[in-house]
Structure 1
Amino acid sequence: MQTDKRVGGQAVALAATAFGLALLVLAVPRIIAHGSIVPVTFNLALDKADALASVRESYRRALRWQPADAQLHQDFALLSRSLINNAANTDEIEEAGDAFYATVMSGPARGFAWSLLAGFEQSRGQSTGLYADHLRLSALLSPYETSSMVQRATVIVSAWADMPKDLRDLARRDLRRMWLTQGSPRTTLITLYLQLDFAERALVRELAFENLEELKHFDRQLLRAVRG
């Protein structure tokens, strides 16, 4: 009887060890990938362009280790987008676009990724019809996620005249929901508002608030935010 218990205990221990080793093996590519990313800080020995090139290359290495990592693709896409300017060459723009598409392909159930792709396509001058379904997918997958609501509202408000009715209604719901939800969503609405131009701000005031009292309340919070 004692022998059976000892054998059973050894079997459990061996199984646990094997399971732990399997988890470690599976984690190795992710550990190497994320460990290879260079922080976005500038070495005084390098100029800014060289430092940014180093960061971008570190993401490329990481993605070779973890080509299906949606978060890595998204971080690389956002970094690439932030580096694009009027002087960016075609290859840089294409790489950023590929990164946004890779983000949704590796994580198609992530609503925020679809809203980011819509925003990128809009920024490159694409017609509304080419990214409208990305916004609809974002709303379907992440209807209450603050980051998704903000990104959707930003895209829709900035091209309001070209938006179909269902997306205008979506922006109204997102903005309204952010206002009615205490905490981070309401704070994020204020941050979004401050980033818009005057015409877009006027539109947000029309969409997010249902009466004068709400608008006055928002203005008081806005004033406190601006004053710090």
Structure 2
Amino acid sequence: MATKQRGRPRSFDRDEALEKALHAFWQHGYEATSVADLTRSLGIGAPSLYAAFGDKEALFDAAVEVYARTDNGTFIDRALAEEPTAVAAFTRILREAAVGYTDPDRPRGCMVLSVGMSATTPEVVAKLRELRALNMTNMAARVQADVAAGVLPAGTDAEKLASYTGAVLQGMSTQARDGADRELLERVAEIAAAGFAAAAEGREVGASGA
């Protein structure tokens, strides 16, 4: 008589689980997403979740790393690296934000901005603040590089321009969460890009670039 074999445990796809956790945090925020919510989203029990990822904060950290590899997580760095000028890079950043923040296949807005606005856990707040600060530093450095190269006027305030773009992105993310569609955010992006270019080049907003 053959010995009955024990059933093999269901395979666990870590990447798929992290993607689901990312969407849960992105949609609902850090505090509002409970371990019970995560186990339902991932389709695993709490012991399996803890064994695979540690605690909830560790799972969030891993989900943020996944986000950092998505289009929404890399579009700023790609634009800064690929465009020939800071003005072109910032125009592209704003335009791509309008598309990415309204992508129907993902939660709306920027995950770092959306979760950061509602988070109260100190470690999570600090992590997301650090990511936002890194973006500001990289954007300011791109402007400063154009100043050093003579592309933008001496005395151009790189930090102010980076902060301006960050504020516009935060507003666009919030509007996307509130239901703004791609067309509306693209109009916002064009107006903001024109304002950035004028300020960077020392022109009055609305003045001709000729």
Tell which has more relative contact order, 1 or 2 (C-alpha 8 A, sep 6+).
Answer: 2
TM-score (structure 1 length as normaliser): 0.25
| Higher alpha-carbon Rg | 1
